[in-house]
Structure 1
Amino acid sequence: MRPSSSPSDGLPGGLLGGLSGAPDVDAELGDPALLRAMLDVEAALARAAADAGVTPPAAADAIVAHCHSGRYDPVALGRAADAAGNPVVPLVRELTAAVPASARPWVHVGATSQDVLDTALTLVAVRAHDPLRRHLDAAVDAAARLAAAHRDTVMVARTLGQQAAPTTFGLKAAGWLTGLADARDRLRQAAAAQPAQLGGAVGTLAAFGPA
Structure 2
Amino acid sequence: MPATIIDSTIFGNIFSTDAMKAVWSDENRTRKYLDIEAALARVQARLGIIPQKAADEIVAACDINKIDMGKLRAQTERIGYPVLGVVSQINALCRDRLGEFCHWGATTQDITDTATVLQIREALALVDQDLAAVSKALAALARRYRDTPMIGRSNLQQAVPVTFGYKMAGLLSAIERHRERMLQLRPRVLMGEFAGAAGTLASIEKGAMETQEGLMSELDLAQPVIAWHTIRDTIAEVGAFLGLVGGTLGKLSMDIKLMMQTEVAEVYEPFAHGRGSSSTMPQKRNPISSCYIHAAISVVRQHAAALMDAMVADHERSTGPWEIEWIVLPEAFCLIAGALKQARFVLEGLEVDEKQMRANLDMTNGLVVSEAVMMGLGPRLGREYAHDLVYDICREAVRQKRPLLGLLLENKEIASAMSRSELEALCDPANYLGQAGVMVDRVLARLDEGSD
The bucket for the TM-score relative to the shorter chain is 0.7 to 0.9
Which of 200, 204, 209 is residue 208 of structure 1 equivalent to?
Answer: 204
Q: Who is 2:34 aligned against?
A: 39
Query: Partners in 1 of 2:122 and 2:69 — Cα distance?
Result: 19
Contact 1:143 1:173 in 2 (8 A): yes
Shift of 1:186: 2.4
2:99 pairs with one of 104, 107, 110:
104
Verify: 1:85 aligned to 2:80, yes or no. yes
> Alpha carbons of 1:91 and 1:192: their partners in 2 closer, same or farther (altered >3 Å)?
same
SS in 2 for 1:128: helix
Corresponding residue of 1:197: 193
Indicate the residue corresponding to 2:157 in structure 1.
163
Paired residues of 1:28 and 1:128 also in contact (CA < 8 A): yes
For residue 157 of structure 2, give the secondary structure of its aligned residue in structure 1.
Answer: strand
Instruction: Give the number of aligned pairs.
Output: 196
C-alpha separation in 1, matches of 2:183 and 2:112: 22
> Which aligned pairs between 1:9-158 and structure 2 lie closer than 5 A?
12=7, 21-74=16-69, 76-78=71-73, 80-153=75-148, 154-158=150-154
Q: Which amino acid is 2:194 matched to?
A: L
Bigger fraction of residues in helix: 2
Q: Secondary structure at the match of 1:27?
A: helix
Code of the residue aligned with 1:204 in structure 2: it is: T
Output one character per residue of 1:82-130: Cα deviation in whole Å (capped at 9) or x when no partner: 4433321221222222222431321111001100011111111223343
**Structure showing greater relative contact order (alpha-carbon pairs closer than 8 Å, 6 or more residues apart):** 1
Write the deviation string for residues 27-74 of structure 1: whole angstroms up to 9, x where unpaired.
333222211111101111111111221111100110010111111244
User: What is the CA RMSD across the aligned residues, in angstroms?
Assistant: 2.8
Normalised by the size of structure 2, how large is the TM-score? 0.39
Matched to 1:165, the amino acid is: A
22-31 vs 133-142, which deviates more?
22-31
| Contact 2:151-2:158 at 8 Å conserved across structures | no
Distance 1:91 1:110 in 2: 16
Give the stretch that moved more between structures: 199-208 or 111-120. 199-208
Write out per-residue CA displacement over residues 128-152 of structure 1, whole angstroms, 9 at most, x where no aligned residue. 3433322221111111111222233
Tell me by how many angstroms 1:75 deviates: 5.6
Letter in 2 for 1:89: L
Aligned-partner SS, 1:206: coil
How far residue 158 of structure 1 moved from its aligned partner, in angstroms, is: 4.7
Q: Give ranges in structure 2 of 5+ residues lacking alignment.
A: 209-452
2: distance between equivalents of 1:183 and 1:25?
A: 19
1:3 equivalent in structure 2: none
- Alpha-carbon spacing, 1:163–1:92, altered in 2? closer, same or farther (3 Å): farther
Work out which of the residue numbers 157, 172, 181 in structure 1 matches 2:176: 181
Alpha carbons of structure 1 residues 163 and 192: separation in structure 2 relative to 1, 3 Å: same
Long gaps (5+) in structure 1: 1-6
Opposite residue 50 of structure 2, the aligned amino acid is: T
Code of the aligned partner of 1:142: A
Residue 22 (structure 1) shift: 2.7
Cα 1:51/1:158, change in 2 over 3 Å:
farther
